[in-house]
Amino acid sequence: MIAVTPPRIQKYCAIALALVLVSACQGDASGDGTRRAAAAPAGSRTAIAKGDVVIASPSTPYKVAPVAAPGSVTGNVTLSKPLDALPAVETGDASAICGPSIPDGSVTMQGNGLTGVVVWLDGARSGKAPAIERRVELESDHCKLIPRVQAALKGSAVNIIGHDDFRQHLRFTAPGDSAPRATILLGGGEQVIPTELPFVAPGMVAVRDAEHPWTRAYLAVFDHPYFAVTGNGGSFTIDGVPAGKYKLNAWHERTGVSVQDVDVADNTATKVTVTLSAP
C-alpha cells in the first residue's frame, strides 16, 4: 500500500461510502453501468496469458466441517530455467505521465523462488471455515496495477484505487464468461471504486485496460480456502487441510498451470517443491 495522509484517507472513506450506496441501488451494474452477461455455454473458454487457464466451478459446494487433525502443505515455487523479460511497452499518449515505456513486470525472482504464483488444492470439498475478511485492494499507481496477482474467495469485493491522472477503462474477464464480469472507468486523479462483480464465481480473472496494453493484473477466485499466492523466495503455505490425497496446482502468467499429486497426513506439514516449466 501507498502511504497516505489523513485527509486522503478521509477522502477515500467519503467516496467509498457514496459508491457503496450507489452500488446497492444498481444491483449487478459494473463501474460504467454495464451489466454482467450470462455465462457462455459449457466448453467455451478464452485464453489468459499462456493457454487456457480455468479455475472451474466445482460440481459440489464447499462445506465447512471440523478438521480434527489438520495438516498443511508448504513449499517453494521455482523455474526450470530463467524467464527473460518481455519487451517494454510504449505508452504513447500517456508518456507525459507514465514515461516513454513501461518495463515488463511479469517475473519477480527472489533467490531461486518465483513470486506471484497462485497455488491451490483441488479435491478439498470440506474443511476449515473461510476467512471472514473478503475485501482486497487493487491500486493504479505510477501507471501499474498493484498488486499484480491476488487470490480471494467467491463473494469477495475489491476496492479499485486510482492515483494516476489519466483515463483508464479496466475490464475484468474470465474464461467461460461471454462478457467481462465488470468494466470500471477511472477518469483520472484520486478515486476509490468498490465492486463485487469479479468474484461472482470461481475463475482466473484477468484485469486489462482497453486503452493501455501494458496494464494488467490477475484475481484468482476460489470457493474454498485452500489457496495461496507465493511471496518472499517463492514460498507458500496452505494450512488447516484435512488428511487426504489432492492435486496441487500452481499457476503463473508466463508458464500456465503445473499439477502434481500431494498426500497430506494428520498433523503433518507436507513439504513440496514446485518447478514450473519456462517456455
CATH number at residue 25: 2.60.40.420
pLDDT tens, the chain, 279 aa long: 334 444 444 444 444 444 433 333 333 333 433 333 333 333 322 334 433 646 988 999 999 999 999 999 999 999 999 999 999 999 999 999 999 999 999 999 998 899 999 999 999 999 999 999 999 999 999 999 999 999 999 999 999 999 999 999 999 999 888 899 999 999 877 999 999 999 999 999 999 998 999 999 999 999 999 999 999 999 999 999 999 999 999 999 999 999 999 999 999 999 999 999 987
Counted domains in the chain: 1
**C-beta atoms surrounding 226 within 10 Å:** 23
Which pLDDT score is estimated for 230? 98
Q: Identify whether 1 is part of a domain.
A: no
Which pLDDT score is estimated for 73? 98
C-alpha cell at 214: 501494458
Which pLDDT score is estimated for 204? 95
Which pLDDT score is estimated for 23? 39
Which pLDDT score is estimated for 188? 76
Residue 234 DSSP code: G
Which pLDDT score is estimated for 2? 38
Which pLDDT score is estimated for 228? 98
Helix (H, G, I), strand (E, B) or coil at 100: coil
CB–CB of 186/140 below 8 Å? Answer: yes
Which pLDDT score is estimated for 134? 92
pTM: 0.82
Helix (H, G, I), strand (E, B) or coil at 275: strand
Q: Identify whether 47 is part of a domain.
A: yes
Q: Report how far Cα 214 is from the mean position of its chain's Cα atoms.
A: 17
Find all residues with CB under 8 Å of 252, minimum gap 6, and list them.
Answer: 77, 114, 116, 117, 118, 276
Which pLDDT score is estimated for 279? 78
Q: Identify whether 18 is part of a domain.
A: yes
Determine if the peptide bond prior to 147 is cis (ω within 30°): yes
Range of the domain at 144: 6-276
Which pLDDT score is estimated for 187? 85
